[in-house]
Amino acid sequence: MRKWRSLVAVGATLPVVAFAAACGSDNGNGDAAGEDTGGSLRGNLTGAGATFPNPVFQEWAAEYGSVEPGVRINYQSIGSGGGIEQFIRGTVDFGSSERYLSDEDLDEAATTRGCEGVQFPVIFGSVVIAFNDPALDGMVLTSDAIAKIYDRQITNFNDPELQELNPDMDLPDQPIIPVHRSDGSGTTYVFSHYLSTENDEWADKYGEGTEIQWASGTVGGQGNEGVAAQVQQNRGALGYVNQAYAIETGMATAHVVNEDGEAIAPTLEATTAASELADIPDTFQFDIDNIGGDGYPITGTNWIFVYECGYDDNTAEMLKSFWNWVLTDDAADELALELGYAPMGDSLKERVQAQVERINSQN
């Protein structure tokens, strides 16, 4: 695995991560100095947004460098809220988020750019509940228990409600420190949407969104990296993070009870099972709700945002080339699977490719 792993450990102090598809220094033309660039494209792409897919985005960009070494990709892992804002403002070539663009977002984007925005999913992944204590790995939680922990109704691991859910575990007499995202976050959207769907009290008090007014007694972390670091550094900490960060940092994770009453581990298979239950309209505005069977119930999607106009021809070709490579090359799927993300099925990929072809179509 490449450089992102070392960045996870220091994510609290490095919330923005940039990466390039080509190695070496830029000679000013988008080429890496001293290398046989090959390929047919030359130039730079800039993107910004979700931290959720940052690990796989880095891997994709590095692998794509063997196809188009003259293309450099710089992605700023600043959170979904920032990705939506920068996309609408037109300061990046593409945005990324775990929250799809609402009709209001799309209207604002069209007004700003003078043409329609285009959004499409590229990957699925789980939001996991991670613990500081390895002995808690596999602890069972329900949506109600998670909501009460973040609402500070449950403040200790040996709370009777948690002990009832885990009769075979010797839960510690340890105060719980709930950790949340402090930035505008699609991971927060997925997490809070899940709780709002499953828990009426949470829906009334906190609702859903990329930012939430958290209860006092909770701790914030910048990005998935920052939450992971807070959980690792604080005894009794519990936080919600992208599955990839939990895997790579070796954190213990909870099994979450789904709609059918099954306590499901956040495995790749369980994420895939959940994603296959999603009803995906032509607008690609969807959530993954009420998951039963073998599906993990807190499963989210990453969207990419681009425009139908406003790019120069070279930038448009680079965008199409990169995202079509992601959708069609087996290496892209293999990297996603290795990191704990669930690639899309072939039929959905075909629908998404039609969206990619809309890039700059109105120029």
Q: Classify domain 4-125+300-356 at the CATH topology level.
A: D-Maltodextrin-Binding Protein; domain 2 (3.40.190)
pLDDT on residue 184? 85
The domain segmentation of the chain, as residue ranges, is 4-125+300-356, 126-279+287-299
Distance in angstroms (rounded) separating the CA atoms of residues 61 and 3: 12
Q: Which H helix or E strand runs over 47?
A: strand 43-49
Instruction: Show Cβ contacts of residue 96 under 8 Å, excluding neighbours closer than 6 positions.
Output: 47, 48, 49, 50, 53, 57, 75, 80, 83, 302, 303, 304, 305
What is the model's pLDDT at position 250? 87
| Spatial CB neighbours of 350, under 8 Å, sequence gap ≥ 6 | none
Low-confidence stretches of the chain (pLDDT beneath 70)? 1-38
3-class DSSP assignment, residue 337 = helix
Helix residue ranges, H only, the chain: 4-9, 54-64, 80-89, 103-113, 143-150, 160-165, 186-198, 200-205, 223-233, 243-249, 268-275, 313-328, 330-339, 346-356
CATH 3.90.550.40 matches 126-279+287-299: no
Asked whether 274 and 328 are in contact (CB, 8 A), the reply is: no
pLDDT at position 38: 61
Please choose, from the candidates 180, 128, 178, the residue with its C-alpha nearest in 3D space to the C-alpha of residue 157: 178
Model pLDDT, residue 223: 87
Query: If you ran DSSP here, which 8-state letter would residue 317 be given?
Result: H
DSSP string, 81-101: HHHHHHHHHT-SSEEEESSPP
CATH topology match: 4-125+300-356 vs 126-279+287-299: yes
pLDDT digits (tens, 9 = 90+) for 241-292: 988 888 878 899 999 999 999 999 999 899 999 998 889 999 999 999 999 9
Which residues neighbour 236 within 8 Å (Cβ) at sequence distance 6 or greater?
Answer: 132, 133, 157, 174, 175, 176, 177
What are the distances in angstroms from CA 358 to CA 46, 305, 319?
Answer: 19, 11, 11
- The residue type found at 65 is G
Cα separation, 270 vs 294, in Å, equals 6
Q: What residues have CB less than 8 Å from 225, skipping those under 6 apart?
A: 7, 8, 10, 11, 12, 14, 15, 17, 51, 77, 245
Side-by-side strand order, sheet with 140-141: 140-141, 255-257, 263-264
Burial of residue 101, with CB atoms counted within 10 A of its CB: 0-12 exposed, 13-18 middle, 19 or more buried = buried
65-95: b (≥16 Cβ within 10 Å) or e:
bebbbbbbbbbbbbbbbbbbbbbbeeebbbb
Residue 250 class from Cβ within 10 Å (0-12 exposed, 13-18 middle, 19+ buried)? exposed
